Amino acid sequence: MVALLVAAVAGAGIAVAVRPTSSAGQRVASPVPGSVSSSSPSLNVSPVLKRIEPAVVNIDTVLEQGQGTAAGTGEIVTSSGEILTNNHVVNESVKITVQIPGHSGSVPAKVLGVDPTDDVALIQAEGVSGLPTMPFGSSSTVKVGESVIAIGNALGLGGPPTVTTGAITATGRSITARDPTGLSEHLKNMLQTDAPLQPGDSGGPLVDAAGKVIGMDTAAESASSGLTGASSNSPSNIGFAIPINRALTIIHAIQARQSSSLGTTILLGARPFIGVEVVNPSEIDAAQGGIGGGLNGSGFGIPPGYTPPVSSGAVVVGVLSGTPASRSGIAPGDVIVSFNGQAVTSVTSLSNAEQADHPGQSASLTWVDPSGQKVNATVTLATGPAV
């Protein structure tokens, strides 16, 4: 099963992704925020919405290095402003703001912790108190055929949430979810629903008929699978939500500052950053003309005809100015093969090694330049975007 994440990026998943900024013009559509689309007329939506809406927030982010913006939905967990959302909503963000019902303007927020494996994040709205909190239920007893309501910031348009209704059509689903920017993840034990979802709904609550949250809207089937993609303006009625029991277990671990108690990948607080754009050596040919204008074009600093000097590692295709990487001397075409003494065999292994450290720490970096020579350097990790 292939699905698209539902964050809205001026370019990305069931959050309404708006990546790059130039695609923001796509954020026009129906249903209009605040509208209700119902395929389950027996559901009494109004009292449920009255209970849920005060604890639903709209999330907007600015992405690193001018990549654009993104939008999604969040659920208030604590009266002091802790908010549950998807990791892919805040992924690569350097600035996060939230719109809270009853509050004028936007409130800045920061990441408290994320679990990239399960696509869960906990963020903190700053300078707020006395907020209403989401009425969480249990996903352990959810059954196929149960009526549900999906609530979210469809298309990232802001304002009152869009509401759609449907039913649980399957449980225990495993999917591969991706967004147009290349972010891909494998999610297990998902709830499947026919309540229509759109980009921007990511992180929003999936609610049962009693007004309890049983899941977090995360993905919808993609156009490439014959279904509506999250980057389009048409909602998909094959959507997926993370069971709320799993999401709450993860955020409770984040609140307790426990990074590994669940056998999952929980990352706490600010993330370290060296400042390189990398791809796997095997992706060089496949990416010609396909990423940022092409690896052998103006999008990156790789010259035409480039061949990686080694077959394993992380090929540097861009170095961000003013970062630890730019000060180390590493350049496009170099291949990172070791980070802090750990072998780097792929982009994923580099990310895993990097995320094990913290901003301000020193780290050793080894790369192979295009001539085949190994180079060693020590860098001080900076504070980077959310994972």
Q: What is the pLDDT of residues 97-113, one digit of tens each?
A: 999 998 989 999 999 99
Residue 24: φ, ψ to 5° = -60, -20
Closest CA to 323 of 372, 365, 363, 273: 273
Q: What is the pLDDT of residue 298?
A: 37
Give the range among 72-86, 181-195, 326-340 with minimum mean pLDDT.
181-195
Q: How confident is the model at residue 44 (pLDDT cuts 50, 70, 90)?
A: confident
Q: How confident is the model at residue 385 (pLDDT cuts 50, 70, 90)?
A: low
353: which residues sit within 8 A by CB, 6+ positions away? 339, 340, 342, 344
Mean pLDDT value across residues 46-64: 92
| Euclidean distance between CA atoms 332 and 287, whole angstroms | 15
Whether the domain at 1-269 and the domain at 270-384 fall into the same CATH topology: no
Residue 373 predicted with pLDDT over 50:
yes
Domain spans, the chain:
1-269, 270-384
| Euclidean distance between CA atoms 184 and 116, whole angstroms | 10
Residue 179 predicted with pLDDT over 70:
no
Q: What is the pLDDT of residue 273?
A: 78
Q: How confident is the model at residue 70 (pLDDT cuts 50, 70, 90)?
A: confident
Pick the CATH number of 270-384 from 2.30.42.10, 1.20.120.1200, 3.40.1280.10, 1.10.3720.10: 2.30.42.10
Q: What is the pLDDT of residue 336?
A: 95
Q: Is CATH 2.40.10.120 the classification given to domain 1-269?
A: yes
* 223 Cα distance to chain centroid: 20
